[in-house]
Amino acid sequence: MASQEELKKIRDDIDWANLGFSYMPVKTHIRASYRNGAWNKGELLPDPTITMSIAATCLHYGQAAFEGLKAFRCKDGAVRVFRPDENANRLNLSASRLLGPAFSVEFFNDLVRRVVLDNIEYVPPYGSGGSLYIRPLYIGVGPQIGVAPSSDYDLLIMVMPVGPYYKGGMKPVRALVIEDYDRAAPLGTGTIKLGGNYGASLKPAKIAKEKGFPIPLFMDPKTHQYVDEFGTSNFFGITKKGVYATPDSPSILGSVTNKSLQQIAEDLGMKVERRHIHRNELGDFAEVGACGTAVVITPVSEIVTVEKTYFYGETCGPTLKKLYNHMTGIQYGELPDTHHWLFEI
């Protein structure tokens, strides 16, 4: 654990304009525990290490789920979190699939509020383009050697400042369709945010990267005929007719960013379609984007499949740019929050 002086030096040395997306020790994280059938109200802890039984179920049987959301220093100086209710609900969905106990949205939001408040000096200043990344983690910690759910759980939330992904504009990236691996099973856990899903995606993501493709695109695991999602983000495209289209699939994660972008697209007068997208339809798009909390939107320049390569351009398209500006405008308090997405700290 870093000493007070080391922490202060790390904090004082932060270059707000050049933050990346990497781990950094901060003042505290918050940890709530479920013991004897009830959640305690959580505690702010300076030590970023955990002690647990070597037989904890999160280590052996994958009883581990997480979330990702962000707090922003807005134009008026206030700090606001983007749609924490959505992450609370999604984490509850993960918990219920793991047979872990539920918690209320109010309980989750209270933990978020307390940990952000205690680490408020780590929220990047308005104008730097950065934000405070909030990473909740839900784990079964009780010892268990037969395959069964734990009776004890921890819900902890860590935070760290992160930078804008795009410093010099949104540069489109190449995507490779993964033909030999799936990230989720047809009736598996693709719709929830289990740690194990990401373990399964490491190898195909590495293969794609080594071939020169920063992001892998997965097809539906049952038929490999329909588009599912990218490794860590949802797929959406703007058709040549100007329609926002995104896959409807039982094996993809319900992205908060995608849901928000669909609403923004509708607000901007666009037609939105959630439907199966056949791989042969990849040629119908004028623009393609990957969307998620970390980046909001990553424009995709081309998608390579075994049969064909589809090109969408080397510069970010106008609709993706408009959606990105609108979304970040709401997040930084530059545009009205008409849907009440921001949770004030």
Ligand X SMILES: Cc1ncc(COP(=O)(O)O)c(C=O)c1O
- Enumerate the active-site residues: 193
Answer yes or no whether residue 164 interacts with ligand X by CB under 6 A. Answer: no
Q: Which of residues 258-277 bind ligand X (CB under 6 A)?
A: 258
Q: Pick from 182, 229, 287, 302 the residue near ligand X by CB under 6 A.
A: 229
Question: Cα(91)–Cα(277) distance, rounded to whole angstroms?
Answer: 27
Q: Pick from 92, 150, 191, 232 the residue near ligand X by CB under 6 A.
A: 232
Answer yes or no whether residue 28 interacts with ligand X by CB under 6 A. Answer: no
- Among 222, 234, 296, 304, which residue's Cα sits nearest to residue 90? 234
Answer yes or no whether residue 234 interacts with ligand X by CB under 6 A. Answer: yes
**Between residues 48 and 254, which has the closer beta carbon with respect to ligand X?**
254
Question: Cα(259)–Cα(265) distance, rounded to whole angstroms?
Answer: 10
**Between residues 94 and 233, which has the closer beta carbon with respect to ligand X?**
233
Q: Pick from 257, 262, 319, 331 the residue near ligand X by CB under 6 A.
A: 257
Q: Pick from 115, 116, 139, 256 the residue near ligand X by CB under 6 A.
A: 256
Question: Cα(136)–Cα(132) distance, rounded to whole angstroms?
Answer: 13
**Between residues 103 and 230, which has the closer beta carbon with respect to ligand X?**
230
Answer yes or no whether residue 195 interacts with ligand X by CB under 6 A. Answer: no
Question: Cα(102)–Cα(93) distance, rounded to whole angstroms?
Answer: 9
Q: Candidates 137-145, 209-217, 253-261, 269-277: pick the segment binding ligand X (CB under 6 A).
A: 253-261
227: its two tokens: 């588009």
DSSP-assigned letters across all residues of 194-249: BHHHHHHHHHHHHHHHHTT-SEEEEEPTTTS-BEEEETTEEEEEEETTS-EEEE--
Q: Pick from 119, 233, 246, 249 the residue near ligand X by CB under 6 A.
A: 233
Map residues 40-59 to x or -, x wherever contact with ligand X holds by CB under 6 A.
--------------------
Least gap, CB of 144 to ligand X (angstroms): 27
Least gap, CB of 239 to ligand X (angstroms): 21
User: Under a CB-based contact definition with an 8 Å cutoff, are residues 65 and 194 in contact?
Assistant: yes
Question: Cα(174)–Cα(228) distance, rounded to whole angstroms?
Answer: 17
**Between residues 233 and 319, which has the closer beta carbon with respect to ligand X?**
233
Q: Which of residues 63-102 bind ligand X (CB under 6 A)?
A: 68
User: Under a CB-based contact definition with an 8 Å cutoff, are residues 32 and 111 in contact?
Assistant: yes
**Between residues 33 and 325, which has the closer beta carbon with respect to ligand X?**
325
- Among 84, 69, 71, which residue's Cα sits nearest to residue 333? 71
15: Cβ contacts below 8 Å, ≥ 6 apart: none
Beta bridge pairs of residue 33? 154
Question: Cα(252)–Cα(228) distance, rounded to whole angstroms?
Answer: 6
Answer yes or no whether residue 249 interacts with ligand X by CB under 6 A. Answer: no
Least gap, CB of 336 to ligand X (angstroms): 21
- The letter for the amino acid at 52 is M
Least gap, CB of 255 to ligand X (angstroms): 3
Phi and psi at residue 24, to the nearest 5°: -145, 135
CA dihedral 147, 150, 154, 155 (to 10 degrees): 70
DSSP reduced 3-state for 116: helix
Answer yes or no whether residue 333 interacts with ligand X by CB under 6 A. Answer: no
* Farthest CA pair distance, the chain: 58
**Between residues 119 and 255, which has the closer beta carbon with respect to ligand X?**
255
Answer yes or no whether residue 220 interacts with ligand X by CB under 6 A. Answer: no
Q: Pick from 63, 189, 293, 298 the residue near ligand X by CB under 6 A.
A: 293
Length of the chain: 345
How many Cα atoms are found within 13 Å in the side-chain-facing hemisphere of 146?
2
**Between residues 56 and 69, which has the closer beta carbon with respect to ligand X?**
69
- For ligand X (CB under 6 A), the number of binding residues is 12
Residues near ligand X (CB under 6 A) are 68, 229, 232-234, 253, 255-258, 292-293
